[in-house]
C-alpha cells in the first residue's frame, strides 16, 4: 500500500475513533444529567470478572452510579488507544515496519470500547435491544481484532514475514467480525459491564487468554532468539495491555478501573517505545515490502 493510501486509511480510522469517543462522552453526559433516564441502569447485575456475577447494588452503593465509572473507563480506554495509534503510525511511516502497522491497528481497536456508552444509553431509553446487541458484538469483535493484530506484530518480530501486510490486516478484521457476529449472547441479560451476557463465556475467555499469551510469547521468543531488546519491551507491553484491558472490560470498583487504566497506559507507552525501535533489516527486506523489529543500536542504518 502506498503512503497516500495509508494516510487515507489512517484518516478514516481516526475519524471513526473520534466519533466513537464523542458518542461515549455524549452518552455519559446525558446519563449523568438525567437521573430518571439513568434509573434503569441502576438495576443491572454486576459483572466484576469472568464468570463472576452479582446482584445490582443497593442503597448508598447504588447512589454512586457504578455504570458511570464503567462508561468513563471505556471512554478513557478509547482515548488512550486512539492517541497511541496515531503515535504508532508515525513509527510505521518512518520505519516501514509491518509490526508497527499491526500495533497501530491493535491500538485503534481499543477505541471501539467507547460503544459501551451509547449501548448503555440505548438500554436506558428502552429504544432497541438489537442495536445494543450489535454494539456489544462490535466491542467483542474489536477485542479479538486487537489481540490478532498484536499476534501478527509478534510474528513479524519472529521474522515470519508477509508480503501484503494490509491484506493480512483486512483478513484479521474479517475474521474478528465473524467471531463477533457468531458469539452466542443472552439478549435478556444486560450487565453492569455494559455488555450482554455471553452464552459461551468459557470459550470466549479461553480464546482471549490464548491469543494474549501467544502475542506476548511471540515477542518474547523474538527477544530470546534474536537478542532483540525491543521485542522484549513489546512482550512486556503485551502483558500490560492484556491485564489493563481485562480490568477495564468489567464492572469493577473505581479503584480496579483506575488500576486497569494505569496498566493500559503503561502498556501503550512500552509498545510505542518498542515501535520506535522497529527498523527494516538491511539486505533488501524493505524493498520487498516487509520489515522486522530490530534494535536501533544493532542497525547502523537506523535513523
Look at residues 242, 285, 293 and name the one whose alpha carbon lies nearest to residue 263.
242
297 has pLDDT over 60: no
Which residues lie below 8 Å from residue 263, measured CB to CB, with a gap of 6+? 240, 241, 243, 244, 247
Q: Could you write out the DSSP letters of every residue in the chain?
A: --HHHHHHHHHHHHHHHHHHHHHHHHHHHHHHH-HHHHGGGGGPBEEEETTEEEPPP-THHHHT-HHHHHHHHHHHHHHHHHHHHHHHHHHHHHH--HHHHHHHHHHHHGGGGGGHHHHHHHHHHT--HHHHHHHHHHHHHHHHHHHHHHHHHHHHHTT---S-HHHHHHHHHHHHHHHHHHS-EEEEEEBTTSSEEETTHHHHHHHHHHHHHHHHHHHHHHHHHTT-HHHHHHHHHHHHHHHHHHHHTS---HHHHHHHHHHHHHHHHHHHHHHHT--PPTTTTGGGT------GGG-TT--
Q: How confident is the model at residue 40 (pLDDT cuts 50, 70, 90)?
A: confident
Mean pLDDT to the nearest integer, 102-110:
92
Selected residue with higher pLDDT from 102 and 276: 102
Residue 178 confidence (pLDDT) = 95
Residue 84, pLDDT > 70, answer yes
- Give pLDDT, residue 242: 96
Give pLDDT tens digits for 48-78.
Answer: 889 888 876 665 444 455 788 999 999 999 9
Domain regions of the chain by residue span: 3-34+66-298
Helices 201-225 & 229-248 angle (0-180, nearest 10): 160
What pLDDT is stored for residue 251 in this prediction?
A: 84
Mean pLDDT of 251-269: 92
Chain centroid to Cα 257, Å, comes to 15
pLDDT at 161: 67
Percent of the chain with pLDDT over 90: 53
- The tens digit of pLDDT for each residue in 146-198 reads 999 999 998 888 877 666 777 888 899 999 999 999 999 999 999 999 999 99
Assess whether pLDDT exceeds 60 at residue 280.
Answer: no
Q: Which residues of 45-55 are buried (b: 16+ CB within 10 A; e: fewer)?
A: bbbbeeeeeee
* Separation of alpha carbons 298 and 154, rounded Å: 19
pLDDT for res 57: 63
Asked whether the predicted pLDDT for residue 90 surpasses 90, the reply is no
pLDDT tens-place string over residues 212-249:
999 999 999 988 888 878 889 999 999 999 999 999 99
The pTM of the full predicted model, rounded to 2 decimals, is: 0.87
- The pLDDT assigned to 56 comes to 66
Q: Which residues contact 265 (CB under 8 A, 6 or more apart)?
A: 80, 244
6 pLDDT more than 50 = yes
**Residue 294 confidence (pLDDT) above 70:** no
Classify residue 167 as exposed, middle or buried by CB count within 10 Å of its CB (0-12, 13-18, 19+): exposed
Q: What is the pLDDT of residue 52?
A: 86
In this prediction, residue 295 has a pLDDT band, given cuts at 50, 70 and 90, of very low
CATH tag, 3-34+66-298: 1.20.1070
Per the model's pLDDT, the better-predicted residue between 84 and 98 turns out to be 84
Amino acid at each position: 500500500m502506498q503512503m497516500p493510501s495509508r494516510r487515507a486509511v489512517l484518516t478514516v480510522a481516526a475519524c471513526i475513533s473520534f466519533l466513537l469517543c464523542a458518542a461515549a462522552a455524549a452518552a455519559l453526559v446525558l446519563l449523568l444529567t438525567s437521573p430518571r433516564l439513568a434509573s434503569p441502569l441502576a438495576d443491572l447485575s454486576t459483572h466484576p470478572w469472568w464468570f463472576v456475577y452479582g446482584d445490582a447494588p443497593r442503597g448508598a452503593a447504588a447512589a454512586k452510579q457504578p455504570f458511570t465509572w464503567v462508561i468513563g473507563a471505556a471512554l478513557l480506554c478509547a482515548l488512550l488507544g486512539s492517541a497511541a495509534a496515531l503515535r504508532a503510525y508515525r513509527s510505521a511511516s518512518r520505519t516501514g515496519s509491518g509490526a508497527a502497522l499491526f500495533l497501530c491497528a491493535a491500538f485503534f481497536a481499543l477505541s471501539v470500547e467507547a460503544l459501551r456508552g451509547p449501548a448503555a444509553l440505548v438500554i436506558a431509553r428502552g429504544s432497541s435491544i438489537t442495536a445494543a446487541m450489535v454494539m456489544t458484538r462490535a466491542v467483542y469483535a474489536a477485542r479479538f481484532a486487537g489481540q490478532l493484530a498484536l499476534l501478527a506484530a509478534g510474528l513479524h518480530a519472529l521474522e515470519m514475514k508477509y508480503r501484503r501486510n494490509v491484506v493480512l490486516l483486512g483478513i484479521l478484521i474479517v475474521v474478528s467480525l465473524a467471531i463477533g457476529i457468531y458469539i452466542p449472547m443472552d439478549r435478556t441479560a444486560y450487565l453492569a459491564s455494559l455488555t450482554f451476557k455471553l452464552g459461551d463465556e468459557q470459550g470466549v475467555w479461553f480464546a482471549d487468554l490464548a491469543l494474549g499469551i501467544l502475542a506476548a510469547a511471540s515477542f518474547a521468543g523474538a527477544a530470546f532468539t534474536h537478542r532483540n531488546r525491543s521485542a522484549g519491551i513489546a512482550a512486556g507491553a503485551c502483558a500490560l495491555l492484556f491485564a489493563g484491558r481485562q480490568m477495564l472490560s468489567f464492572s469493577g470498583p473505581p479503584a480496579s478501573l483506575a488500576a486497569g487504566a494505569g496498566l493500559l497506559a503503561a502498556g501503550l507507552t512500552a509498545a510505542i517505545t518498542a515501535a520506535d525501535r522497529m527498523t527494516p533489516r538491511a539486505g533488501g527486506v524493505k524493498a520487498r515490502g516487509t520489515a522486522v523489529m530490530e534494535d536501533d543500536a544493532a542497525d547502523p542504518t537506523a535513523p
